[in-house]
Amino acid sequence: MEFFALNLLNGIAFGSILFLLASGLSLALGVMGILNLAHGALYMVGGFVGWTIAIQQGWNFWLAVLAGAVTAGLLGLLMERGFFRYLHGRLNEQVLLTFGLIYILRNLTRWIWGPIPKAPFTAPLLSGSFPVGDYTYPFSRIATIFIGIILAIALWWLLEKTRIGATIRAGMDDKEMATGLGINVGLVSTAVFSLGAFIAGGAGVIGAHLFGVNLDLGLSVLLYAVIIVVVGGMGSIVGALSGSMVIGIVDSFIKGLNPELGYFSIYLIMIIILLIKPSGLLGKRKI
């Protein structure tokens, strides 16, 4: 029973971080049709910036989250304005460009922070733990779950219940019609892409708080994000949340039983979903 409870909590906490990462990638794909392989690198940069603010500067953890998010958001804005707005519908060019950006951001990060991985850090407010049977479970992971839930509700409300969300959905469903109705689809795309990068940067700090941060994150978390988008479906916040929870919980339980089968299990889930429903569980559109 303790094994089940601990791995379920770990899976939900990990799934919450994956949701924060994958939601922006899912929206960028759904709204813009941009496959941004550098999304994981934005997560990594946000993690390093947040680590610097929280550890080296000794400032507030939430300020570190904000700093990581703003840094990644500004990078996302520069990437969208400088490159991606010219690459709509050009998948080959998107893949080549964004894969190159992974290595550019990785080398810049290495130059600034060095090659040594940074250890997890504990925010004073989130320190401590509570008992789960014969074990203890950290409050920081419970806080991560609540952050994921709150942001999921906020994003769902923004997309489904506001005029801004209606504008985003219109651009997602039919760009030509939205443009004909006077919607500035280019501005909407920029805002959505920057928001996704902003969330990824904040997720990087939260992830660094739990797992640390290193130079390989740009590729390793990208694999999870892409699989979640495939499983949950592009352009859907609820789909991204569902996919994140499925992948996070399965990954936690499988690694708890046999760590070597971790990646195999999530790839197997992706293959099954593709065979049953190629658009994903709650996908709205294809690239």
Query: Given its phi and psi angles, is residue 89 left (phi above 0), alpha (psi -120 to 50 degrees) or beta?
Result: left
Tell me whether residue 235 is in a domain: no
| Burial letters 71-107, b for 16+ CB under 10 A, else e | bbbebbbebbeebbeebeeeeeebeebbeebbeebbe
Tell me whether residue 255 is in a domain: no
Tell me which residue range forms the domain holding 67.
Answer: 2-217
Tell me whether residue 171 is in a domain: yes
Name the amino acid, one letter, at 255: K
Tell me whether residue 17 is in a domain: yes
Note the pLDDT tens digit of each residue in 185-219: 677 778 888 888 999 999 999 888 888 889 988 88
DSSP state of 84: G
Name which of 55, 102, 106 is nearest 215 in CA terms: 106
Q: In 97-205, which ranges are E strands?
A: 129-132, 135-138
pLDDT for the residue 181 = 64
Tell me whether residue 73 is in a domain: yes
pTM (2 decimals)? 0.86
Q: Which residues of the chain have pLDDT under 70?
A: 1, 31-32, 56-58, 89, 169-179, 181, 185, 235, 262, 283-287
Note the pLDDT tens digit of each residue in 71-115: 999 999 998 888 877 777 677 788 888 888 999 999 999 999 988
pLDDT for the residue 284 = 55
pLDDT for the residue 41 = 92
- Which H or E run includes 274? helix 262-276
Distance between CA atoms of 104 and 102, rounded to whole angstroms? Answer: 6
Tell me whether residue 92 is in a domain: yes
pLDDT for the residue 26 = 81
How many domains, in total, are found in the chain?
A: 1
Tell me whether residue 175 is in a domain: yes
pLDDT for the residue 172 = 64
Tell me whether residue 16 is in a domain: yes
Phi and psi angles of residue 267, each rounded to the nearest 5 degrees, phi first: -65, -35
Distance between CA atoms of 260 and 36, rounded to whole angstroms? Answer: 28
pLDDT for the residue 287 = 44
